[in-house]
Amino acid sequence: MAKFIAIEGLEGAGKSTAIQIIKTYLTDKVADVVYTREPGGTFLAEKIRRILITPYKEEALCAEAELLLMYASRMQHVNTLIKPALLQGKWVVSDRFNWSSLSYQGGGRDLPFEQVKQLNDLLLGEFTPDLTIYLDIPPEIGLKRARQRNTLDRIEQEELSFFERARDIFLSLTKNTSTAFLIDASQPLDKVKKDIEGVLGNCFHK
């Protein structure tokens, strides 16, 4: 049966590396896997992504507009790519999904969390990943890593307190979700790899 896996975490947590680990692990086990990302993943969703991550000097993007654009991109992604792939028997692995909005906009942006969750529930209903891997890292370490790899985008440029609030929501979501697993992303890469493979192994034996 096809499964939907989401990788969540703060900036610099190592989501791209985790996806490479997953890709290697699944190579001999799953015939067809779609790897995607949020915001983005489809032609139109990627257009929205550009608005979301670009710091335009002409006009600041307000928190509410950011939230709605995130879900506009997500619904295009879900209905155009994720659900059709699952129906075709393909596994889907996404770099971020709805937890990022609950955490970044409902935590980092300080928008009323229950209202963000209501929007999430209204649009996604009961559609949720079969497995969520949350890569946990102290924000100061993650941001240091992010600064070393490339120029920071609009969201990556936020202050430390933004990511501290987002992390609190991520941790709460992980604690209260039976299909979610927390992995300490500050560990050496070999240990992170072993932990991810262990989670995937549990997924195959269910």
Alpha helices in the chain (DSSP H): 15-26, 43-53, 63-77, 83-87, 98-103, 113-124, 139-149, 160-175, 189-204
- Token representation of residue 50: 């550009």
Q: Which CATH class name applies to 4-204?
A: alpha beta
38-90 pLDDT, tens digit each:
999 999 999 999 999 999 999 999 999 999 999 999 999 999 999 999 999 99
8 A C-beta contact, residue 183 and residue 195: yes
Would you say residue 94 has pLDDT above 80?
yes
Domain ranges of the chain: 4-204
Quote the pLDDT of residue 1. Answer: 87
pTM of the model: 0.94
